[in-house]
Amino acid sequence: FLSFFTISSSGTFLLLFLLHHFKCQRRYKVLVLAFLVHPVVRNALVCLEKVTEAKEIHIYLWALLAYAFALAGKEEKRQEMLDSLLKVAVEDEDGSIHWERSRKRKQRSDFPHSLRGTSVEVELTSYVLLALLTKNTSLSPEEFKTAVAIVKWLTKQQNSNGRYFSTQATVVALQALSQYETLTYSKDGIYATVTLSSGDAVLTKFHVESKNSLLLQCQDLPYVPGNYKAEVTGCIFLQTALKYNVPLEQEDAPFRLDVHTVPETCTGNQAHVTFDIAMNVSYTGQRLVSNMVIVQIKMLSGYVPVKSSVKKLERLGQIQKSEVNINHVLLYLNEVRNTSQTFSFTVEQETPIQGLKPAFVKVYDYYETGEFATAKYTAPCSTGKA
């Protein structure tokens, strides 16, 4: 039935035929919208309420149900879902709280923070925060205390660019944090200072007040490793970021990755200026099929990808999406199974480099960034392969 309608930019339905009732024609868009939305929303809410009667509900669905009931003004159902969620909340030593799946993959403690969190946990916790903040009345002191603890955990998961483990997680988390900021922001009385020192030397002093509260202030740390102290008055968001390049090896990697060049050795007249990078990828994890997977190929120094050869993989349906930059290529795969998938693209030399070092290729789960495998490759005419 709905195939007879299209949706306009204003959110109303446009009829593909005329209404014969003359008095309805002038306001037919609003009439059709009212006619369709009421039964659709009503029946959808009835369906969601039936879902809550199930014996077992996935925790992610709990969070989505809580937010859906909050948006629909179903306060009793919203509270019911939130009460269930709070019973299984994970409280950290610093007082922050978040939610995890019951079968979450155990992460190695020696991995950097960026690989120990997951996109799903950020999304899940963000939806709980949205459900908590979305209500017709003001938050109670207990609700506000819970919201602060959730925000504390979410802000700890952000990287130095302000994003999270995936685009999807970033969108939901920023929406939740923005709603929290809307409820708590005040133009009056904002004043905080941060004094950053190393030993007896004061490196810098940050001042945060109303006129610059949204301005990012940064200070480089001159010595790493080193001992630094931050003295804070007031309430601000303070983050430290350490960037380094240490290739990690995954134990029991859930992916099999093989990378080689075509040609593999320095044969022919063109091997030193152009060659193909070929990859074989398969999933060896515990599930039947992986989530969305990204293959990240770093370029050898002095080489750049031939964009047309990468885009050809999309046209042939071998990959779903690609991103091409000067120093790396990203290939997106909707899923990977235990059968090997093979694809390749061309690179060409832009600047000759002596003592060329190998480059790394990494395949990882879009939602579970701690699930990955790495491999390296070298140019056909690099030292040792000529």
User: The CATH number of the domain where 166 resides is what?
Assistant: 1.50.10.20
Whether 170 and 68 map to the same domain: the answer is yes
Determine contact, residues 196/219, Cβ cutoff 8 Å. Answer: yes
For 29-43, b where at least 16 C-beta lie within 10 A, e where not — what string?
eebbbeeeeeeeeee
Nearest CA-CA partner of 273 in 366, 347, 179? 347
Q: How confident is the model at residue 151 (pLDDT cuts 50, 70, 90)?
A: very high
**Span 12-45, pLDDT tens digits:** 445 544 444 444 444 555 555 566 666 777 778 8
Q: How confident is the model at residue 161 (pLDDT cuts 50, 70, 90)?
A: confident
Which of 184, 209, 232 is the C-terminal boundary of a domain?
184
Would you state the torsion angle of the CA atoms of residues 75, 120, 51, 174, taken in this order, to the nearest 10 degrees?
A: 30
Position 368 scores a pLDDT of 81
Most confident of 160-164, 195-199, 264-268, 343-347: 343-347
CA distance 121 to 111: 17
Whether 178 and 191 map to the same domain: the answer is no
Whether 225 and 348 map to the same domain: the answer is no
Phi, psi of 299 (to 5 degrees): -80, 145
Whether 68 and 140 map to the same domain: the answer is yes
Per-residue pLDDT at 352 exceeds 80: yes
Average pLDDT over residues 203-217: 90
CATH number of the domain encompassing residue 314: 2.60.40.690
**Span 103-138, pLDDT tens digits:** 666 655 555 554 556 788 999 999 999 999 999 888
Whether 178 and 320 map to the same domain: the answer is no
Is residue 332 in a domain? yes
Per-residue pLDDT at 215 exceeds 70: yes
Per-residue pLDDT at 97 exceeds 70: yes
Is residue 31 in a domain? yes
Is residue 137 in a domain? yes
Is residue 341 in a domain? yes
Whether 261 and 238 map to the same domain: the answer is no
Comparing 213 with 347, the larger pLDDT belongs to 347
**Span 44-79, pLDDT tens digits:** 888 888 888 887 888 989 999 999 999 999 999 999
Whether 179 and 48 map to the same domain: the answer is yes
Whether 116 and 37 map to the same domain: the answer is yes
Rounded to 5°, angle at Cα 87 from 84 and 91: 135
Q: 34-48, 190-204, 279-293: lowest mean pLDDT where?
A: 34-48
Whether 222 and 283 map to the same domain: the answer is no
Position 24 scores a pLDDT of 47
Position 112 scores a pLDDT of 56
Whether 300 and 311 map to the same domain: the answer is yes
Position 42 scores a pLDDT of 76
Q: How confident is the model at residue 8 (pLDDT cuts 50, 70, 90)?
A: low
**Span 312-346, pLDDT tens digits:** 999 999 999 999 988 999 999 999 999 999 999 99
Which of 246, 277, 293 is the C-terminal boundary of a domain?
246
Per-residue pLDDT at 91 exceeds 70: yes
The pair of structure tokens assigned to 193 is: 């200072």
The pair of structure tokens assigned to 303 is: 């080489």
Position 213 scores a pLDDT of 85
Comparing 16 with 274, the larger pLDDT belongs to 274
Q: Please report, rounded to a whole number, the percentage of residues in the chain having pLDDT higher than 90.
A: 49
The pair of structure tokens assigned to 201 is: 């030397």
Comparing 56 with 379, the larger pLDDT belongs to 379
Is residue 211 in a domain? yes
The pair of structure tokens assigned to 304 is: 């750049």
Position 111 scores a pLDDT of 55
Nearest CA-CA partner of 125 in 56, 176, 87? 176
Position 282 scores a pLDDT of 96
Quote the domain boundaries for residue 370.
255-377
Q: Which residue has the tokens 């070092």?
A: 357
| 225 upstream amide cis, omega within 30 of 0 | yes
Average pLDDT over residues 224-250: 83
Which of 225, 246, 267 is the C-terminal boundary of a domain?
246
Determine contact, residues 179/167, Cβ cutoff 8 Å. Answer: no
How many domains does the structure of the chain reveal?
A: 3
User: Rounded mean pLDDT of the chain?
Assistant: 84
Whether 172 and 192 map to the same domain: the answer is no
Position 383 scores a pLDDT of 57
Is residue 309 in a domain? yes
Per-residue pLDDT at 185 exceeds 50: yes
Position 84 scores a pLDDT of 92
Task: Output DSSP code: residue 171.
Answer: H
Position 385 scores a pLDDT of 53
Whether 217 and 279 map to the same domain: the answer is no
Is residue 382 in a domain? no
Task: Output DSSP code: residue 210.
Answer: G
Is residue 196 in a domain? yes
pTM of this prediction exceeds 0.75: no
Position 106 scores a pLDDT of 61
The pair of structure tokens assigned to 73 is: 């003004």
